[in-house]
Structure 1
Amino acid sequence: MKLKTFLIALIAIFLSLEISEAQSLKVISYNIHHGADRNEVNTLQEMGEYIKNSGADLVGLQEVDSVCNRSGKVDQMKVLAEITGMHYAFLRHFEYDGGAYGLGVLSKHPITSQRNGTITSMKNGEKASLALLSTRIKLPNNKEVDFATVHFALDQSTRLIQAGETISFLESDLPVILTGDFNAEPGTEEIDMITGPFKMSDENLGNTFPVLNPVKKIDYIWVSREVLLKVSKVNIPLGIHSSDHLPLEAEISIKSK
């Protein structure tokens, strides 16, 4: 009986230590369609207000413009950071329309470094590259996490290459959170590849595209398998029509390393 009591107490101690080392985060993945809705009306202000009101800790953004003519020569990440009061990072895929087109990160917590990667793309039948943005975030418990975002190609043969490149690039001793528009539905080979090192935080598989009457799940939030302790809530806010995609939200608890 004493041994049983001792073992129960020991398990309770281990559980309490794990909980004390955990970090709860609200994460959003959002393809913002160059700051415009499905009718090409500028909605960047509404996007910023949605993110601010969501209480998100970390936001991965795809299809971001930086001083492009089509979006009014606005530095969209700077504007979103001003609206939300968050730190930000930007990485371009390529020059576009007088500016640049790429990926962005917003973080409630300090961004201590930015790592700029690339994944394979095909442009006019020739091999090119797209951006893969990874940021290191300092959390309130003084631990760090790598937070990344990516946007995969429309064709599966390229996505399979991109999946392997993404997994290799994000190898880390720290917890990794990966967001993005993967242009692939659950059960495809490329999604199964990512499911190796990462766990999908939104396993209810809610659809995110198109914004009205969505029929496809192509946006995801992934977390390193060995650090994900709990997914408290997953939400796809159906009333947010600022883009041609719906945003994806997940509240997670991760084990800090």
Structure 2
Amino acid sequence: MANRGFFFGVVCLWVMLFSFPSQGQSLKVMSYNIHHGADAAEQMTLQEIGAFIKESGADLVGLQEVDSLCRRSGNRDQMKVLAEITGMHYAFYRHFAYDGGAYGLGILSKFPIKEQRNERITSMKNGKKESLAFLAVKLGVGKKELVFSTVHLALDQPTRLIQAEEIMRHLAGSEPVILTGDFNALPDTKEIELISERLTFMDQGLAPTFPAAEPVKKIDYIFVSPSLLKKRNSTLVRKEIHYSDHLPLEATLKL
């Protein structure tokens, strides 16, 4: 009887230990401008992009320059296709109508999306004030909720400064936060410094991400709330992946 009781106790302890999520859980995040699913030579690479994302093991992916039912990319719903290839949940929000469809931002997530937030940021076109998309989703990761977001900033700095301020307002009150995107800005610019006042700038090595073939500029970023950074984290630019005109940026967070 004593041996049976001891064995039962060991089994119960084993079940308890393996029933709780690991305190050292890793979360792999990616930011990738997919250039409407085409490489720098305009050869369609959407299937390869999907296969790469699946192989990478990414948990969360922020995507920029995504087409939805546009003629130039074969009238395909690119986020739906990527979700089918990767087996992930997805969200899409358009900047504007384009080429028979829409052009915008996308998110892939291994975690169910509890809420999608479609916000707008300022855009200047031909001297007129318009707007672009800012996409954020609320997710349940283990016992925690977090906001994962992605954005694509303007080419000119005055507009990027306005957009950076708007992004911070959109994220106000949300914690913790992960922000990904193509910011079209170098690391020492005011707009990046403004975002860095609240969110931690990953990839301190400043590895360039554009253009894909011979990268010379770092313009793609991942920012996270300091509360997510309990341990040493790592970042990686996938220099061998040329399915777009940008390189994908990965960050592994030790939660």
Q: Is the pair's TM-score, using the shorter chain for normalization, greater than 0.5?
A: yes
3-state DSSP class of the match of 2:227? coil
Distance (whole Å) between structure 1 residues aligned to residue 37 and residue 232 of structure 2: 29
In the aligned structure 2, how far is the partner of 1:164 from the partner of 1:22?
33
Q: Which residue of 2 aligns with 1:10?
A: none
Q: Counterpart of 2:246?
A: 245
Letter in 2 for 1:186: P
Counterpart of 1:36, as a letter, is A
Quick check: 231-240 or 242-251, which moved more?
231-240
1:102-128 deviation digits (Å, cap 9, x = unpaired): 000000111111000011001121000
Q: Distance in 1 between matches of 2:132 and 2:90?
A: 19
The answer on 1:26 being equivalent to 2:17 is no
Supply the distance in 2 between the matched residues of 1:226 and 1:177 (Cα, whole angstroms): 11
Which residue does the alignment assign to 1:6?
none
Per-residue Cα deviation, 1:141-197 (whole angstroms, up to 9, x for no partner): 231110000000000000000000001101134210000000000110111001100
Aligned 8 A contact 2:228 2:253 in 1: no
Q: Offset at 1:231? A: 4.3
Q: Which runs of 5+ in 1 are unaligned?
A: 1-18
Is the Cα contact below 8 Å between 2:149 and 2:178 reproduced in 1?
Answer: yes
State the secondary structure of the residue aligned to 2:169. helix
> What is the one-letter code of the residue matched to 2:129?
K
Other-structure match for 1:5: none
- DSSP 3-state at the match of 2:212: coil
Q: TM-score, normalised by structure 1?
A: 0.89
The size of the alignment, in residue pairs, is 235
- Cα distance between partner residues in 2 of 1:210 and 1:166: 25
Amino acid at match of 1:237: R
Q: Which residue of structure 2 lines up, in the alignment, with residue 61 of structure 1?
A: 63
Instruction: Give the Cα separation in 1 of the matches to 2:159 and 2:231.
Output: 32
Provide the secondary structure at the position in 1 that maps to 2:50: helix
Residue aligning to 1:7: none
Q: Which residue of 2 aligns with 1:209?
A: 210
CA–CA distance in structure 2, aligned partners of residues 213 and 230 of structure 1 = 32
Alpha carbon RMSD of aligned pairs, Å? 1.3
Shift of 1:201: 1.6
Instruction: Sort the Cα spacing of 1:191 and 1:130 in 2 relative to 1 into closer, same or farther, 3 A.
Output: same
SS of aligned partner of 2:137: strand
Contact in 1 for aligned 2:136/2:148 (Cα 8 Å): yes
Q: Measure the CA separation in 1 of the matches of 2:153 and 2:98.
A: 18
Equivalent-residue separation in structure 2 for 1:203 and 1:222 (angstroms): 11
- Partner in structure 1 of residue 227 of structure 2: 226
What secondary structure is seen at the aligned counterpart in 1 of 2:83? Answer: helix
Report the secondary structure of 2:231's partner residue: strand
Contact 1:201 1:231 in 2 (8 A): no
- Max Rg structure: 2
Output the CA distance in 1 between the equivalents of 2:228 and 2:173: 12
Counterparts of 1:70-81 in structure 2, within 5 Å, are 70-81=72-83
For structure 2, the 5+ residue unaligned runs are 1-20
Change (3 A) 1:240 1:108: same
The aligned residue for residue 133 of structure 2 is 131
What is the identity, as a one-letter code, of the residue corresponding to 1:147?
F
Q: Distance in 1 between matches of 2:53 and 2:231?
A: 23
Q: Deviations over 1:198-218 (max 9, x none)?
A: 001211110000001100000
Alpha carbons 1:231, 1:250 under 8 Å: kept: no
**How far apart are residue 233 of structure 1 and its match?**
2.0
Q: Structure 2: how far apart are the matches of 1:189 and 1:210?
A: 22
Tell whether the 8 Å contact from 1:231 to 1:251 is kept in structure 2 after alignment.
no
2:166 alignment partner in structure 1: 165
Kindly indicate whether residue 193 of structure 2 is the aligned counterpart of residue 192 of structure 1: yes
C-alpha separation between the residues in 1 aligned to 2:249 and 2:31?
Answer: 5
- Cα distance in 1 for partners of 2:232, 2:49 equals 24
TM normalised by structure 2 equals 0.89
1:113 aligns with 2:123: no
The 8 Å contact of residues 58 and 108 in structure 1, kept in 2 or not, is answered as yes
> What whole-Å deviation, never above 9, does each CA across 1:210-241 have from its counterpart, x for those lacking one?
00110000000000123322343211111100
For residues 200 and 71 of structure 1, do their structure 2 counterparts lie closer, same or farther at Cα, with a shift above 3 Å needed? same
